[in-house]
Amino acid sequence: MGLKSILPRLAIVIAATGIAFSQQSGYLSEWSDFRTKLIRKEKSFQAAEPLEDGREGFQLVTYSSDGMLLKALLKKGQAAKGNRRPAVVYLHGGFALTYPQMAFTKPFSEAGFVVFAPSWRGENSNPGCFELFMGEVRDAKAAVRWLAKQDYVDPGRIYVFGWSVGGGIALNLSLHGDIPVRLSGSSAGMYDRELIRSWATEDDYIKFPYDHTDEKENHFRLPIYNLKAMVRSHVVYIGSEDGYDDAAKLLADLYPDHKTRLDLRKLAGDHVSSVKPAVEEFIKMIRGKEETNWDRGYMRSAKTSSAKASRNSRDLRAVRN
């Protein structure tokens, strides 16, 4: 689901909708208070084979979001109790969690990360309904919090990476300061109103769940119009054959002063072939933000976390929560 080619356009500004929103510190409060009105209350339309415990090295686990138990795939690697590792929450593309795209997470595992891939409400036989960038974002936040509580994860070194639709959710998370994410990135997923309109009116595959003409509904689903409210850096990698030029123009039109925390980067390839290099570049960026010696930095961090846990378990529980 890449950014489709669109005709050059003038910048679409929030004021033009006639709806007043705060785009600074109040954004998260407004997002939290907003309740979507679904015109179609159905499960995800994308079929997916059942998730199985142990398949391809992934453990099948569940996490809780809004009182619902949702499925997820987990690969701990060498992580064990008391052996705290950095972790990546991988946000899947499409509208169901499937095994083929889990191959995209292999570089993370090989680099020493715990990998956690959650599915969302309404998909993969989960309870709830498909909401498209609304309830799914709530689920993503719950997934991050679940991961931060695990005793094999360093809660100060959790990263998020999404592909395609998952990239749109990952970008949305960069506006949420109430989850322990150090850095986020995505391969594609920078969506605007034109793409939403085309999905709702031209794409027979997507069963659209809300009124796409309601600008308030769009506002809280499309972070591209809210980047001034970003609370952490987010890097978006887009392939040269996947609408990068359109994305760059849209970003320049909306933010001519370039004062956002979004880092847009161009890679060779299309919607699929650009994912692997995007993951590799994101890992390099993470390492650049970590200590110079990756392994030594990890060992020092793990020992420090273990010592703190031994001295004061109540403080550790507070950090996890």
Domain parsing of the chain, residue ranges? 14-290
End-to-end CA distance of the chain: 34
Nearest to 7 by CA among 212, 205, 245: 245
Rounded to an integer, what distance in angstroms lies between the CA atom of residue 181 and that of residue 31?
18
* Confidence grade of residue 186 (pLDDT, cut at 50, 70, 90): very high
Q: Residue 295's pLDDT is what? A: 45
Scored b (16 or more CB within 10 A) or e, 67-84 reads ebebbbbbbbbebeeebb
CB 116, CB 182: distance < 8 Å: no
Mean pLDDT along residues 173-197: 97
Mean pLDDT over 225-247 rounds to 97
Q: Residue 234 has which token pair?
A: 């987010």
Token pair of 142, please?
């719950």
Q: Please say if the pLDDT value at position 24 is more than 80.
A: no
DSSP character at residue 50: P
Checking if the pLDDT of 298 tops 80, the result is: no
> So what's the pLDDT on residue 13?
28
**Local confidence band at 15 (pLDDT 50, 70, 90 cut-offs):** very low
pLDDT at 188 exceeding the cut of 50: yes
pLDDT at 291: 64
Residues 95-124 have a mean pLDDT of: 97
Tell me: domain 14-290, CATH 3.40.50.1820, correct?
Answer: yes
The pLDDT, as a whole number, for residue 311 is 33
Q: Which of 62-66, 107-111, 234-238, 288-292 has the lowest mean pLDDT?
A: 288-292
pLDDT at 21: 36
- What rounded mean pLDDT belongs to the chain? 85
Strand ranges inside the chain, DSSP E:
59-65, 68-75, 85-91, 114-118, 153-163, 183-187, 234-239, 262-267
Look at the block and give the residue holding tokens 């094999």: 152
CA angle 283, 4, 195 (to 5 degrees): 100
Residues 86-111 have a mean pLDDT of 97
Supply the pLDDT for residue 25. Answer: 55
Closest Cα to residue 109, out of 148, 57, 171, 183? 57
For the chain, percent of residues with pLDDT exceeding 90: 78
| Distance separating alpha carbons of residues 291 and 50, to the nearest angstrom | 40
Between CA 74 and CA 78 the distance in angstroms is 12
Angle (CA) 164-167-172 rounded to 5° is 140
What's the pLDDT band for 309 if we cut at 50, 70, 90?
very low
Report how far residue 13's alpha carbon sits from residue 11's, in angstroms, rounded to the nearest whole number: 6
HSE-CB of 91 using CA atoms within 13 angstroms: 31
> Out of 22-31, 143-152, 234-243, which region has the weakest mean confidence (pLDDT)?
22-31
